[in-house]
Amino acid sequence: MAATRSAAQGILSDDKADVRMHVVDLLKKAYWMEIETVMSYIANSVNPDGVRAQEIIESLQEDIQEELGHAQQFAARIKELYGVVPGSLDFTAEQTYLQPPSHQSDIVHVI
C-alpha cells in the first residue's frame, strides 16, 4: 500500500485539533524565545566596547542569523499546523538573564 498521508490523518486531522492547538501554543512560546534572543543578541553585539569585545561581537552577529532562522522555522510550523503566527502585541519579555550590562566594557557580563 502506498504511504500517502492527507490532512485527514495524523496531527492535521479534525480529531487531533486539541493536540494540535497545544503543540501550536508550545511553538508560539518557542517562537517568542527565539525572537527575544535575537533582540538580546543584537543589543549585546552592538553595545560592548573594548578590545576584548570584538570576538564576542562577531560570534553574536552569527548567532543572530541562526536564532532568526529558528524563529522562521517555528513560524512556518505554526502555520502548517493551522495556527496563526502572533503579532508583536502578544509578546512578553522573559529573558532577564540576557540583558545588556550597565557598563559597555563589561564583556564578561555578556559572555
Task: List residues near Fe ion by CB under 5 A.
Answer: 34, 67, 70
Q: How far is the CB of 64 from Fe ion (least distance, A)?
A: 10
Cβ–Cβ < 8 Å for 18, 74: no
Contacts with 24 (C-beta within 8 Å, 6 or more apart), sequence order: 78, 81, 82, 83
Report in angstroms how near the CB of residue 19 gets to Fe ion at its nearest: 24
What's the closest the beta carbon of residue 24 comes to Fe ion, in angstroms? Answer: 18
Q: Which is nearer to Fe ion, 57 or 64 (CB)?
A: 64
Choose between 12 and 43: whose C-beta lies nearer to Fe ion.
43
Name the residue nearer to Fe ion (CB basis): 12 or 30: 30
| CB contact at 8 A, 35 and 91 | yes
Which of residues 12 and 64 has its CB atom nearest to Fe ion in the complex? 64
Grid cell locating 7: 490532512
**Least distance (Å) from Fe ion to the CB of residue 67?**
5
With H, G, I as helix, E, B as strand and everything else as coil, classify residue 34.
helix
3 state DSSP class of 101: coil
